[in-house]
Amino acid sequence: MADSRPRYRTGKVCYIEIPAADAAASAEFYARAFGWKIRRRGDGAVAFDDTVGEVSGTFVPGRPPAGEPGFLIYVMVARAGAALEAVRAAGGEIVRPVDPDAGEVFGWFRDPAGNVLGVYQQPGLAGPEAAASGAAQHG
């Protein structure tokens, strides 16, 4: 059985602060688009954990959005096109669609608060996720 605990090591990306005009609305967007777990911290701030529990963060009201591509954070996905459709369905905007001819498969989106982030299609991830989903549905 694989170890499910997060791996801690110096240099690991561990925490992200995402600017948000409305923390609850941003939380809903990321939960719908990517399945992030949303929670309240002890101080009452709205926070999140990624789908594997290795990166967490919070939504920060009053901070200007990162609205222009510069320093970009990418969310790992099995299928970039499907992920961007989920972004759109959750209320986001596609900034750079997937280029099917590119060597690396990725796209950029703008969340409802105006932040630009990316999705990165991890090679080989679609099969194991589909198998795990099928096993969960039939288990």
Alpha-carbon distance of 47 to 6, in angstroms, equals: 17
Average pLDDT on 90-105 reads 94
Paired tokens of 84: 């961007």
Per-residue pLDDT reduced to its tens digit, 33-69 = 999 999 999 999 999 999 998 899 999 999 999 998 8
Average pLDDT on 2-31 reads 87
pLDDT confidence of residue 138? 46
CATH entry 3.40.50.300 includes domain 15-138: no
> Higher-confidence residue: 118 or 136?
118
> Higher-confidence residue: 3 or 10?
10
Of 138, 92, 90, nearest to 117 by C-alpha is: 92
Alpha-carbon distance of 116 to 9, in angstroms, equals: 28
pLDDT confidence of residue 136? 56
Q: Where are the domains of the chain?
A: 15-138
Starting at the earlier edge strand, list the strands of the sheet with 116-121: 74-77, 116-121, 106-110, 93-96
Question: Torsions phi, psi of 72, nearest 5?
Answer: -115, 140
* Residue 129 confidence (pLDDT) above 90: no
Of 107, 24, 20, 134, nearest to 66 by C-alpha is: 20
Paired tokens of 136: 């969960």
Please state, rounded to an integer, the average pLDDT across all residues of the chain. Answer: 90
Q: pTM (2 decimals)?
A: 0.87
